[in-house]
Structure 1
Amino acid sequence: MRGKIKANPAARYGLAILIAGLGFLLRLGLDGFFPPGFPYLTFFPAVVVCAYFLGLRPAILCATLCGLAAWYFFIPPARVFNFGFPVALALGFYVFVVAVDIFFIDGMRQALDQLRGERERYRALAESRDLLYRELHHRVSNNLQVAGALLRLQGQGVMDADARHVLDQAGARIEVIAKIQRELHNAVGEPAPFRVFAEALLASAAAAAGARVNLTLEGGDEPLHPDQATPVTLVMLESFNNALEHGFGDGGEGRVRVSLDQGGLTHVLSVANDGAAPPTGFDPARSKSLGLRIVRAMAQQLGGRFEMAREDGWTVCRLSYAPRRD
């Protein structure tokens, strides 16, 4: 409302005259109740209201009209513009008080308007930043997906089966990273809790493998640190895919439990499946499997430790790492 009034100078001055008139009528109506010596009692609030809502010049107009009304009607001798020393002193006091009121109130009003403008500017910048951030993630994800698809397409033209398999695996993993980039943040660009995007990624991986998996997710209620999100998620997906391929076999079914304990000084990611056990003497630290080599590289990047063990009929892949707080 104040913005609309401010945009119309004629309305501002008209309201200043109206407020001065209301102050005069109120003072006139209460004249019989006030003792002598209070000619400005209703005029000071009128000036304050004008200064706050209408601005500097309308407040000066209101103060001038109120001062003249008080001088003529309420400063003895009434109904005459007398200018003796007592009158000059009373008028001087009035001018001083309204000048201080107008100065501070108008200054405060300008500061509030400036603050409001800064907030609007920062809000617009924040919206622009969020839009650019979401667009950046979208483009990165799309570009990674294109790169993965190109690798797979290139592999189709390779005669060597091993080379074709390597290119196909590389393309698939690049596409997985693209999915991670897409799922790490919600629709407004804020980091999503781990279990939210983990559930979507694992369901997609199970569907792609044609496996019937009874999946249980535990913990992971907080977002991952941006620098740790991709390696932690890759370890989870590689461990999950390992369970689908080696634990359940093609088109197999079973149970998988994924948990992320984010309490304490060390975070622990566990991916457990009730499928077939690893071969006797199997050592994940010496395996030449591309998936396990990726897992070890990601654990090293995190400064953590990766382990695989058989526990109570479950094959458990466990990643321990120190979380980043910055």
Structure 2
Amino acid sequence: MNRIVYFCKLPVNSSQIQPMIKSLLYFFIFLCSCQSIAQQINKRYIDSMLVSISRHDKEQVRSGMDELNIKLSSLPRVEANPLYQYLIEKAKDPFIKMIALGDLGGFLIANDAPDEAIGYLIKGLELSKNQGEIEDRFSFHVSLANAFIFQNRAEEALSHLNIAESMAVELKQTDAVASVNYSKGMMYESIEDFEQATTYYLKAWDTLNLVEDHPERGFYLFVLVDYFKRLGNIKEQTRFTELLANYYSKRQPEIPFTHLPTAHIFDTSATAENIKRYKDVIRVSDSMGAINSMMYSSLFLSNIYLKEGEPKAAIEVLQPLIRSLDSTDRRQQKMVLYEKLSVAYEANDDFKNALKFKNMVSQLRDTLVSEKTKRNIAELEVKYDLQTKERELEQQAASKKLLYWILGSVFVVLLILSVFFLKNRKKNQKLAQQKKLLEATVDEKNVLLKETHHRVKNSFQIVSSLLYLQSENMQDSEAQQAIKEAQNRVRSMVLIHQKLYNKDQLVGIDTKEYFHDLTREIFDSHQENGKMVNYTLHVESMLLDIESITPIGLILNELITNVLKHAYDVDDKDRKMEISFQKEGNRLILKVSDNGKGMPEHVRENSFGIKLMKALAKKLKATLQFKKASENGTIAILEVSRFNLLA
């Protein structure tokens, strides 16, 4: 699946990006396809391949699918597309189908059909979540991003690239990180954010540059030279042209200098703008000491002048190169320069100088061939002698080293195993005894704690029942109401111990669940027909210990009860209450608001409810305040500073 990343590294199909880069990539794909064995690809061949690879492990399946994809991708789209479709349809193994979907997606992107590719890549991505590795999912996300970039759908592309970036970090692979940054550069270039595009293109290069002789190095250098040329950044264009020239000369030193593919990047049209750009590059290259870049630009500019019938101008451009190259041993480049000067002088009817430089080319060529042959023979002889002697010495040293290593290793392993076995045996015995004791102690304490909560709950229930019986035998309505309020306070504590008894978690109460249950019970015991109060709760789920939740529950009981008793007149109809409880910073905030008639200016500080709330707030190191609402009603705010949050 990794091949999807590289085959999909195509520039954005927009007006800002030259079609030339895309042509170069198609050329690379064509070269790869040419390496496959010429063989007729048809449905029968695909059937035989499926039967063959389905018997092997995943790595062999990948290898077989790679071979098949190279052959299919070398065909014209009109022939390849139905064969890819047939492969996907006949692949019964989900793993093979996943790879085939990725191959077809990559092929369609490479053939300017990203809209068709997206559907196949999405199906492949779904399969990769169960069938593939993280590398497969990464490749699908990058391929989808590139397909969306082709369609100028930057937001969708960025979404996939962000996912791929997190995977690249997890993979810790240079190729993965560079691929994501490169695709992000393309995405930002497609929306003309050239500052961001430059940042990500350079990140991709810096990542790839960490690996010496990386196979993608030439590709990235091509892209960067072309990108900075189109951007008009002469300095960066010169720097990467120099790097590209050095890279290519090391990879293929036998290819004549003028055949370097860098020529495909440069525009040789005879426009005033183009000529000025070449002059700027030559000037900057000269100041930076970038001889390769200066050489390329001077040669291309001289070609323009020669085509325009201005050989004298061509000679003036090439002359400074003689001085620059005289101080170096770059004979290959000197040959190219002298050849071009010979042509320029001949076009200028200066046959004497034309012959002079032609002879200089001939002398250099003879020297290079002679020296090269002698050097190669001498190097081969030296390498053979050294290789023979080194092999003999290495064999002797390896034999001794292996013997010593085996003896030493056996002794050390036996010693370590003996010590480890003795220590581990004693330690395991002790740990087993401690674990058994701890488990018995914890189980015993849990049983006791659960039984304690059960008994406390039963005791509170008895108190609540006694209060209820007392209220039933009283004639005084105020006394009856006071007992009912006391019963509600007891109920709030009963609810806490009931929840602790009924759950495995014996040390904490979930605030959201507790507030909902407590509020419902309070409203059920107070509301009468025709006097309903609609309430809403916004409670953050937290786990508080019993010492924190008990006073908060009692205060909430008092606040709700006060609203139900005092906030509304008899004929009020649209009655609303809102309760919220959240953690803000290092505090817990409880708010109870209503749309009633509001609190009086002077609150009775000696009432039992107010005294109780203040006492409980003091225990929590909390502040309790009442405010008028913006329209009607009252807002009560409790800010708790002391609490124990368990989760």
Structure 1 residues 202 and 252, CA gap change in structure 2 (3 angstroms): farther
User: Does residue 495 of structure 2 align to residue 179 of structure 1?
Assistant: yes
Q: Which residue is equivalent to 1:105?
A: 421
Q: Which residue is equivalent to 1:319?
A: 638
Equivalent of residue 254 in structure 1, options 556, 567, 575: 575
Q: TM-score, normalised by structure 1?
A: 0.60
Structure having the larger proportion of residues in helix: 2
User: Does residue 546 of structure 2 align to residue 226 of structure 1?
Assistant: yes
User: Does residue 558 of structure 2 align to residue 238 of structure 1?
Assistant: yes
Q: Which residue is equivalent to 1:271?
A: 592
Q: Which residue is equivalent to 1:169?
A: 485
Deviation at 1:101, TM superposition (A): 4.5
Deviation at 1:325, TM superposition (A): 4.8
Q: Residues of 1 paired with 2:640 and 2:416: CA distance?
A: 63
Q: Which residue is equivalent to 1:292?
A: 610
Greater mean deviation of Cα atoms: 305-314 or 139-148: 305-314
Letter in 2 for 1:297: A
Unaligned runs of 5+ in 2: 1-402
Deviation at 1:149, TM superposition (A): 1.5
Deviation at 1:255, TM superposition (A): 2.8
Deviation at 1:153, TM superposition (A): 2.0
Deviation at 1:145, TM superposition (A): 1.6
Deviation at 1:133, TM superposition (A): 1.6
Q: TM-score, normalised by structure 2?
A: 0.32
**What secondary structure sits across from 1:323 in the alignment?**
coil
User: Does residue 525 of structure 2 align to residue 208 of structure 1?
Assistant: yes
Is the Cα–Cα contact under 8 Å of residues 244 and 252 in structure 1 kept in the other structure? no
Asked which structure has the greater RCO (Cα within 8 Å, sep 6+), the reply is 1
Q: Residues of 1 paired with 2:513 and 2:501: CA distance?
A: 10
Structure 1 residues 122 and 142, CA gap change in structure 2 (3 angstroms): same
Unaligned runs of 5+ in 1: 1-37, 46-93
Deviation at 1:225, TM superposition (A): 4.2
**What secondary structure sits across from 1:262 in the alignment?**
strand
Structure 1 residues 161 and 106, CA gap change in structure 2 (3 angstroms): same
Q: Which residue is equivalent to 1:141?
A: 457
Q: Residues of 1 paired with 2:413 and 2:623: CA distance?
A: 74
Q: Residues of 1 paired with 2:573 and 2:612: CA distance?
A: 24
Identity of aligned residues (%): 21
Deviation at 1:160, TM superposition (A): 5.2
Q: Residues of 2 paired with 1:170 and 1:219: CA distance?
A: 25
Q: Residues of 1 paired with 2:562 and 2:494: CA distance?
A: 20
Map 1:2-17 → 2, pairs under 5 A: none
Give CA-to-partner distance per residue, 1:199-241, whole Å, 9 cap, x none.
1111121222236444333343322343222111111121112
For the pair shown, the structure with the greater C-alpha radius of gyration is: 2
Q: Residues of 2 paired with 1:202 and 1:139: CA distance?
A: 24
Structure 1 residues 190 and 180, CA gap change in structure 2 (3 angstroms): closer
Count of aligned positions:
237
Give CA-to-partner distance per residue, 1:64-111, whole Å, 9 cap, x none.
xxxxxxxxxxxxxxxxxxxxxxxxxxxxxx9x9979854641441232
Structure 1 residues 168 and 193, CA gap change in structure 2 (3 angstroms): closer
Q: Residues of 1 paired with 2:475 and 2:533: CA distance?
A: 35
RMSD: 3.7
Give CA-to-partner distance per residue, 1:153-173, whole Å, 9 cap, x none.
234445655544434433342
Deviation at 1:121, TM superposition (A): 2.9
Structure 1 residues 159 and 115, CA gap change in structure 2 (3 angstroms): same
Q: Residues of 1 paired with 2:454 and 2:474: CA distance?
A: 31
